[in-house]
Chain A
């Protein structure tokens, strides 16, 4: 059976579901094809950081746009997905790391990102539970965290309500383009056809690009995540460090969610899992930041699969080979905060033919050989 629509989206992560929602709101007939359940991989199992501070400067305009959507998520999809503006505190554990934080203040200023340096004297006064290794921090008051398990399903549900056709358990096994229309065939043997295709398939976006003759060096990336039993609530801000080898946040329920390093995966299945030694290392780094975590019990650890680009920023924009094909994949661990904004931007690219957000840095041509 062949189903026709205006826009096909491959990949039901946060970004893909947001694109479906924004396109459906503009009255376009959208079909989204997702191999598993929406938000099943990186979008659904990540740390849940809604962070702008520390991003690559090229990503900041998207992050700002996305943050605006996060702020009105409840109106957009009917739930705030537990988005809480706790602030994000990025910590330095050495002079060199402190210099890094200071250097970023200028970047933040250029993009109107509120950011405040917390110096050597203030840091332990304001956050008495931080360990002695911490020497300074920078605080982004607009940042926070949300529940990644809820975002993509909520966006998908809102997209459906707006008229989009979200197909789960619909794995795409063949791609074709006849010069005017794309035809995607699913494992169940159904064909879907449209003049526009959005490739938002995360790590697997590499294979989609490849199917249209533009190969990119994308690698699977599996964040190594863990969570403690509930503890009395005392860590308000979302915590990170320069270099990013550990990050942690506490939810009001009391659990501390922490990550750092990478797990193992087999993208072909797909299958991913944290590595025990990586989990143990991350807990040791976490207890260095917050000594009171010593003795807390880890009750679960998990991972998922994201796509990582060599320069750690995604591919976003028009295909170099195929008219009507747009890419947005390889978010390299940054997709959760960016997702809602990416969806809006992709809708602009498709429906308006343009967007105000500068996307030059993300062009797929940067990998052309």
Chain B
């Protein structure tokens, strides 16, 4: 039986571990040079540092993932630096790009552990040099050993906001401010549920306390107004505090993000249906609790199957592998599945509380000024999308996301709407006066990420 696993983050590693234990040797592909996923991404050898420095409280977990990954490599068909850019679920084929060369992978069953990316809400000025996502700011620090600036503002909401700020401060950067768009009261209401998170919740409190102790300004309930700058880059962030007063913080870089969204393009191309998850405010691929999708032979695990975090990803990877094995007629230990299911259910309750503590601030996207860039690939401004929703447009109003894309080019550039899609949906929904689930989502098209044209003998 040919099994393909896409992704070597926490979910992919634990899935492959179970497959190998059952005597299988899957084809295992990952975009990065040495796996680990975004959360445990390893720096290139010349920048290697000890795990404690790189991953802090997560060092033990990171090391365990890396050690398992390294032990599994020789027992699988391990293919790093491989971008799977298309999947044909019916034909059971994947198409990948490996160091500039095309590869076709045949499979009987596949586990897609494709991870997540930052969810972004455009802010006027967000395309200035020196503005990155929170995740990118963290990767710069972890994998390249550099920061996005000397004096940095972190802006957005969610657990990553304080974590990245803490990591930057620890690494010696000046953190000018941590600007959280979620009001304190919202978080306080979710606190009882957050206690379910135990150690995870405690770590969040620790980072916050540490930042406060070191005199770093931390403000809740703010509204971002603009990231300001000149030809050289960012010069400051203008924002409004919870009492309505306008404030300005000088900085030379800004990292921003509002939680995560699944990188689920492969599941989409495989034909897996999607549903709108109101708690996460994300479109997520349909799967059962074990990771089975309605498409035969396609299994999902990790943040690509709906945001759950690294701990959930490890469990879900193992669980999806067991589901695959069971469906293929392998004998699996029922205690094993029951244990995994119970732990996953417990973590799901914590995740739901987390989403309630840091809800997606749709109003910020909806109130993006008309002249602000919404789709940075296509240079499209918010007002141009709003105009396409109105009846006086020559094409008639766009009733849903893909029509809006066809009319305005929103989400039609290099990133294919991965960055602007969530905010664009809010803006279009507001203009049409319909809820987001009713206006649909941008359809996935291959390639998942850009692939180069390579000269070769045309057949």
Contacts and interface: CB of A to CB of B under 8 A. Distances in A.
Nearest to B391: A157
A44 interface: yes
B453 A286 contact: yes
A295 B396 contact: no
B199 interface: no
Interface string A206-245: 0000000000000000000000110000000000000000
Interface stretch (A24-32, A105-113, A148-156): A148-156
A299 B450 contact: yes
B394 A79 contact: yes
B395 A295 contact: no
Contact of A297 (B102, B104, B445, B451): B451
Given A150-B395, A157-B396, A276-B95, A299 B413 contact: yes
Contact of A160 (B95, B396, B403, B445): B396
Contact of A153 (B85, B102, B395, B413): B395
Nearest to B86: A276
Contacts of B233: none
Interface in B404-425: 406-407, 412-414, 416
A281 B407 contact: no
B451 A298 contact: yes
Nearest to A297: B450
Nearest to B399: A37
A298 B453 CA distance: 7
A301 B453 contact: no
A296 interface: yes
A238 B453 CA distance: 19
A351 interface: no
Most chain B beta-carbon contacts within 10 A, residue among A44, A153, A228, A291? A153
Most buried by B among A154, A277, A288, A300: A300
A154 B388 CA distance: 12
A301 B414 contact: no
Contacts of A299: 413-414, 416, 447, 450
Contacts of B451: 297-298
A251 to B, nearest CB: 11
Contacts of B399: 37
Contacts of B86: 276
Q: Output the residue of B104, B395, B406, B452 with the most chain A CB within 10 A.
A: B395
Contacts of B329: none
B172 interface: no
Contacts of A276: 85-86, 88, 95, 102, 104, 446
Contacts of A286: 453
Nearest to A301: B446
A295 B445 contact: no
The contact size tier of chain A is 35 or more
A277 B446 CA distance: 12
Contacts of A287: 453-455
A102 to B, nearest CB: 24
A259 interface: no
A287 B454 CA distance: 8
A78 interface: yes
Contacts of A295: 452-454
Contacts, number: 99
Nearest to A151: B395
A273 B90 CA distance: 12
Interface in A136-167: 149-150, 153-154, 156-157, 160
B459 interface: yes
B453 A44 contact: no
Interface in A227-272: 228-229, 264
A92 interface: no
A62 to B, nearest CB: 25
Nearest to A291: B455
Contacts of B452: 295-298
A150 B453 contact: no
A279 B86 CA distance: 11
Contact of A301 (B406, B413, B447, B457): B447
Contact of B445 (A79, A156, A302): A302
Given A288-B458, A299-B416, A301-B447, A153 B453 contact: no
B406 A44 contact: yes
B416 A153 contact: no
B46 interface: no
A283 interface: yes
Contacts of B269: 273
Contacts of B416: 299-300
Nearest to A93: B458
B180 to A, nearest CB: 34
The residue in A280, A281, A293 that gathers the most chain B C-beta atoms within 10 A of its C-beta is A280
B198 interface: no
Contacts of B407: 149-150, 153
Contact of B396 (A153, A284, A285, A302): A153
A16 interface: no
A160 B394 CA distance: 11
B456 interface: yes
B395 A273 contact: no
B394 A298 contact: no
A298 B394 CA distance: 30
Contact of B450 (A229, A293, A302): A229
A44 B447 CA distance: 20
A344 interface: no
A363 to B, nearest CB: 35
Contacts of B447: 298-301
Given A153-B396, A157-B394, A294 B446 contact: no
A129 to B, nearest CB: 14
A85 B457 CA distance: 32
Interface of B: 85-86, 88, 95, 102, 104, 269, 393-396, 399, 403, 406-407, 412-414, 416, 445-447, 450-459
11 contacts: A37-B399, A228-B453, A274-B446, A276-B446, A277-B104, A285-B458, A294-B455, A297-B450, A299-B414, A300-B446, A301-B446
Given A283-B453, A298-B450, 12 more contacts: A37-B403, A153-B403, A154-B395, A229-B450, A285-B458, A295-B453, A296-B453, A297-B414, A297-B453, A298-B453, A301-B445, A301-B446
